[in-house]
Chain A
Amino acid sequence: MTTAPERTAVRVELLVDQRWFAICDLTDLIPGRGVAALLPDGTQVAAFVDRAGRPYAIDNRDPFTGAYVLSRGLVGSAQGRPFVASPLLKQRFDLETGRCLDDETVTVQAYAARVRDVAPARGVARGRDVASARDVAPARVA
């Protein structure tokens, strides 16, 4: 990467095993769309930002087809809650809880996510929790 050292970067981080893990820059994400990322153990996650710039992350595997494609779904909101619709058969998953909105017996893992300003010049990370409500332990997995 060739970014100038004094520029601050904004990172998207997920809470994995009690630790925040950076997966990409916020600029890698288009609001309303997702990306897939690999966690240290090889797990695939799907990360998104919504229109307001809030980050989310859930498992990338679509439980209905087994394909690792949820990151390629479209983000929407229903009753004020964000969801992603699987690009294959269009089931919707709540981005905060991982619950499937179209089949209540199905849930995918959800991860707590945040964005953080990183100021490499000073070498100190300054926390800026955009959505502190979600900076809690991952939602219960069914």
Chain B
Amino acid sequence: MSAPEPAPATPTIVLVGHGMVGQRFLEALADHKVTETARVVVFCEEPRPAYDRVQLTSYFSGRTAEDLSLAEDGFMVRHGIELRLGDPAESIDRAARTVTSRSGLTVGYDTLVLATGSYPFVPPMPGKDSDGCFVYRTIEDLLAIEEYAKNCASGTVVGGGLLGLEAAGALKGLGLTTHIVEFHPRLMALQVDEGGGAALRRTVEDMGLIVHTGVGGKEITADGTGAVTSMALSDGSSIDTDLVIFSAGVRPRDQLARDCGLEVGERGGIAVDERCRTSDPAVYAIGECALAADGRVYGLVAPGYEMAEVAAGAIAGAATDGFTGADTSTKLKLLGVDVASFGDAHGTADGCLDVVYSDARAGVYKKLVVGADGTLLGGVLVGDAEAYGMLRPLTGSVPPVAPEQLVLPAGLGAPAALGPSALPDEAVICNCHNVTKGAIRAAVTEHGCTTVPEVKKCTKAGTGCGSCVKALTSLVNDELEASGVSVDKGLCGCFGYTRAELYEIVRTLRITSYAQLLDSHGRDGARQGDGCEVCKPAVGSIIASLAPTLGASGYVLDGEQAALQDTNDHFLANLQRNGSYSIVPRIPGGEITPEKLIVIGEVARDFGLYTKITGGQRIDLFGARVDQLPRIWARLVDAGFESGHAYGKALRTVKSCVGQTWCRYGVQDSVRMAIDLELRYRGLRSPHKLKSAVSGCARECAEARGKDFGVIATASGWNLYVGGNGGADPRHADLLAQDLDDEQLIRLIDRFLMFYIRTADRLERTSAWLERIEGGLDHVRDVVVDDTLGLCAELEAMMADHVAGYRDEWAETLDDPERLRRFVSFVNAPDAPDPTVKFVPERDQVKPDLTVLSGPAIPVRTLEGTASR
């Protein structure tokens, strides 16, 4: 052990534990600018910086450790914080004010903050240390479970609480026959009452999990190698099991504090006052390791965050409220079941009464606890927790309508009257970030937010667990309406309908012409008119994507369709800044023969085109004049190329890595799948361009998660991710489903794409669409995986129509002299090239000669905001 460092010159703050609360504490210190003047040293036991433990289970559905990370890149460096990964604090000397770590480092402190969290409680059961016994708390735990489960057929979770159910869901997801053993007579005993537990149990059992309640595990038996084989239960029965997860509650990690003589609670937890100070004023404790001033240990993250703020404020000398206790309301989606409890869920107050609605068949149970004077005290919701966002803020007040109306399902006489507008301004709408209704209203009225994403950014509301987004959305809309910002959701000056609404109109009324739609459904002043540059291509695209189903021509240069297309679609090429066009032949999956490569090279050479490799694994040929397009394409089509639709709001490319065929890591043939997908969806018109990629293994060389739909190979099939994009506002795609076989994968993509095309706004990428639509990814999964709207057959049929109706636009154009007539620079001089399209040399190729065009440089009008005129 090294000698203690000399007494520090600058004040030193030492933090022990870099978990969720520890990280929030560091952020709060930085906010208070304490990091500018003090040295901050952090001892972190885990091998990685703080991550989102609440979302831990999502690791199994494809979130990576990096995705879960909480500390923003460069945070530690920017604030000069010394983070010691994998080096836990081992002892504290309060007299000398030093902390010594496992590596032997001793650091002196002026202020010490303990944020050591909890450890999972493992019941003292014989055999509990056998191979195959795990707890469920860290990423390392999950990695170990995942690895071990590969050779298991069944698993048992000890504990049927919140975490236990999560762990059970994870085991089931890993393909094990899963048992849950719960000592209490019902599941989630802490959060829900008997009725709720019963509803929960039914639903959980329907999912194929085996629930044992009212019994405890007695002994674990292992085989000769020390691996778990079975568990004996207290009722004398026994379960065959290859793996055990203990999830029987957590205990505060207060050993360090005990060892150095700090006061701890009778049942554990480091005792603190309202400022989160322990019995030693130089030492604070926050988060799950602390026993708060109200005598409780909080096992939820929101109270921990509050403590972090309080402690940081106290250290900074800021005047902040103390921590006197917190709401332990929760809403979760466990194994796909909504479960919520809030306030006095168990009805412990004197004279309170229950209002219960229960539908055992549907697995729905709702209970409200109401005081004698009608005050809403708390409640439990299982199976349908829609009302949570409304009910929690109402807790502690007398609701404006009778309690029973609050739990009746919509349609059973429940008035929709009770929106969040009925709430007082002080009501907390977002529990995770403690945002009141007043603050949300102010975001609209004072800070000028006009959309839900803006309000989220401004207030942080809705960016935690997400359970409040529904209430938030309706509040924001109400507020916008009230403040006279008329929210005209119409597509443009010609149509008062959104793109999705127009899609439905076209589909159900089988409208096949733009003029017909404008005259029947346009705004009053716009009917009989000429439309505009916003709605024409949008409606053109709707009609094109529905054409196979409506039995209309899908060819974009046919009849009236020709007049609706943006110039790119009109000339089947991409207009560039000097009026020339670029050409991108389709190269499915990025796979190309040497012969075809040579053809592209020859065409480019013969027509003097500039060539560049695109990010989508194909080749872009720049600098063609309109009148050259048909001749260029004649050569390309001859060589077996077809349109790459680089000019359209349509499927662009499906990138791929070489996959199993060549790569030593590959587990599936990613190239074949990419080609299949690209050929299936080529030509599909959509609200925005669509990109895709297929990676041959989890190393993800094709960057599939940056795509609208991305596919990543697994040992047993494919994982499908949706809603990713690169560009200015990058977003990682979310996992929609995993381990699909080829057929399941394609069916699911069919549905997903058609559902997107049907419901998205104009120019709305899948990423923005997923974030906008009510219910987000869960809703999309409900619709396209679980078919809750009964739409899937129709969506699949529409995609089948598309696939059957696909024709190459360029081959068709070349076959039709009428269409070819359009490809001239001048109508009255068909053979004259446009003299303004000129090129000069650069790096052995050409570039546009802009001197021919020299004109004033003028600011760019963007495409946004066109709907308001």
- A binding-site residues for B, Cβ under 8 Å: 23-24, 28, 30-33, 35-38, 42, 44, 47, 50-51, 61, 63-69, 72-80, 82, 85, 87-92, 102-103, 106
Contacts and interface: CB of A to CB of B under 8 A. Distances in A.
Given A23-B828, A24-B828, A32-B563, 19 more contacts: A23-B827, A28-B827, A30-B563, A36-B826, A38-B832, A50-B530, A63-B856, A64-B855, A68-B834, A72-B571, A73-B567, A74-B533, A74-B536, A74-B567, A76-B529, A90-B533, A102-B861, A103-B858, A106-B858
22 contacts: A31-B563, A32-B530, A32-B564, A33-B570, A36-B825, A38-B829, A42-B835, A44-B826, A47-B827, A51-B529, A63-B858, A65-B858, A68-B836, A69-B579, A73-B567, A74-B536, A76-B530, A76-B533, A78-B532, A78-B869, A80-B525, A90-B861
Nearest to A42: B835
Given A66-B850, A66-B853, A67-B853, A87 B575 contact: yes
B827 A37 contact: yes
A61 to B, nearest CB: 8
Contact of A36 (B525, B562, B827, B854): B827
A79 B525 contact: yes
B95 to A, nearest CB: 72
Given A30-B562, A80-B525, A85 B533 contact: yes
B834 A32 contact: no
B293 to A, nearest CB: 61
A24 B562 contact: no
Nearest to A25: B827
B850 to A, nearest CB: 7
B422 to A, nearest CB: 42
A47 B826 CA distance: 11
A67 B493 contact: no
A46 B367 CA distance: 70
Contacts of A51: 515, 528-530
A133 B697 CA distance: 69
B820 to A, nearest CB: 13
Contacts of B447: none
Contacts of B571: 72
Nearest to A74: B533
Nearest to B515: A51
A44 B515 CA distance: 30
Interface in B558-585: 560, 562-564, 566-568, 570-571, 575, 577-579
Given A78-B493, A87-B567, A68 B579 contact: yes
A7 B821 CA distance: 21
A67 B828 contact: no
A90 B826 contact: no
Given A32-B563, A36-B826, A38-B828, A89 B578 contact: no
Nearest to B494: A76
B533 A73 contact: yes
A76 B853 contact: no
B821 to A, nearest CB: 8
Contact of A67 (B537, B560, B566, B579): B579
B536 A89 contact: no
Contacts of A44: 826, 834, 836
5 pairs of A and B residues whose beta carbons are closest in the complex: A66-B853, A32-B563, A76-B532, A85-B533, A66-B855
A76 B525 contact: no
Contacts of A76: 494, 529-533, 536
Nearest to B533: A85
Interface string B528-552: 1111110011000000000000000
Interface in B845-867: 850, 852-856, 858, 860-861, 863
A67 B855 CA distance: 9
Given A67-B577, A68-B834, A35 B567 contact: no
Contacts of A50: 530
Contacts of A103: 858, 861
Contact of B567 (A42, A63, A65, A69): A69
A125 B704 CA distance: 65
A102 B869 CA distance: 11
Contacts of A82: 530
Contacts of A31: 563
A90 B866 CA distance: 10
Contact of B529 (A28, A30, A37, A80): A80
Contacts of A36: 825-827, 834
Contacts of B568: 87
A132 to B, nearest CB: 20
B855 A65 contact: yes
A67 B836 contact: yes
A72 B625 CA distance: 13
A67 B578 CA distance: 5
Most chain B CB inside 10 Å of its own CB: which residue of A76, A82, A88: A76
Given A30-B563, A33-B570, A69 B575 contact: yes
Instruction: Specify which of A44, A65, A92 lies most central, judged by the most chain B CB atoms within 10 Å of its CB.
Output: A65
A77 B568 CA distance: 21
